[in-house]
Amino acid sequence: MSHHVIVIGGGIAGASAAFALARRGAAVTVVDSGLAGQATAAGAGIISPWISTVEGPFYDLYAAGAAYYPELIELLAEAGVRRTDHRRTGSLLVHEDPARLAEARARVEARARTAGAIVGDVRSLDSDEVRALVPVLAPGLEGVLVTGGGRVDGRTLRDALLQGAAHYGARRVSGEARLLPRPQGAPEVEVRSEVGSGVGSERLAADDVLVAAGAWTNRLLEPYGVRVPVEPQRGQITHLRLDGVDTGGWPSVHPMSHHYLVGFDDSRVAVGATRETGSGFDARVTAQGQWQVLSDALRLAPGLAGATLIETRVGLRPLPSEDLPIAGALPGSPGVHVVTGFGAAGLTMGPYVGAAMARAILDGRPAPELAAVAMTR
């Protein structure tokens, strides 16, 4: 009989774990509430950890996540899934201060000696070369180009992973999940959903349950009297269209601060994002947030002033208060596992961590690569 695992959450971590579990022959049920504010659905994922300033275990997991992407794309292709919107178009650090750029280049080159060929080439660009790559940028910006940098649309990758999981037999259930602890073994999962004009419920049982509910994780864990150090952080990201401009090959642009610019196909450019700690579960587009995103974008890239505003996506990131994600078995609760707390790094880390969690669940022992982020650390 197949090992049955219920995955609660259809974001990047849950979808990745579901795909990895189903590939190994597990019977997988994905329960997704579809609540507004899923971080994955809002994310324009920049896969370029080597340009970040983070260090220690967080960076190690960040870099491992990027290194896993080529394997992930191959595994999805084996399942007949080829559209992921993942592309390695490069990452472009820009600044007016050559000294800041020289420091950033030295950091990336040092990391490349460990990370290997996936980083690609690292080279400095003058202001003319910078604008030749991304013509909308402000004049006077010099740059450092990291050719191995990638990007991915969160919605497309999530859907690809869920499609891949379905290829191996996983099923999806829509509704709000609630854990029902039992004296022995994994909890049952009650799923409440709208049925006609009323509300229906279904009880599911499994050998293991993986809570991959992002910012909503603590709501799921209430029956156990446990809280993980994660809170929602609102991120607003705006999508623009530059009619007639081929933006699909642009590198992602990073002015060495909190905001960025990412080009996609169909003349689309994503700019953002806010980092609104203390937002709670408020997934609205706000006037202040929209102003911040557009102000930052137009200072960096005044050539976007005439672009069409398509939409603003809002994601509630699961922000960890202890600076590290959480991934592992819930202590003292057989059959319950948790993965959350990626902050803004979910689209880089999520697939790698989801696959590692799948191995840990099916092998019945902790994944060594997740030791630094286990709940018992």
Average pLDDT score over residue span 306-325: 96
H/E stretch holding 177: strand 176-180
Three state DSSP letters for 58-82:
HHHHHHHHHHHHHHHHHHHHHCCCC
Does residue 1 carry a pLDDT above 80?
Answer: no
351: buried, middle or exposed (CB in 10 Å: 19+, 13-18, 0-12)? buried
**Which residues face 95 on adjacent strands?**
142
**Residue 184 — pLDDT band, cuts 50, 70, 90?**
confident
The model carries a pTM of: 0.95
Over residues 41-90, the pLDDT tens digits come to 998 899 999 999 999 999 999 999 999 999 999 999 999 999 999 999 99
Tell me: cis bond preceding 367? Omega within 30 of 0 counts. no
227: buried, middle or exposed (CB in 10 Å: 19+, 13-18, 0-12)? exposed
CA distance to 42, 73, 237, 242, 269, per residue, from 310 (Å): 14, 28, 11, 10, 10
Domains of the chain: 4-41+156-230+322-373 (3.50.50.60), 90-150+231-318 (3.30.9.10)
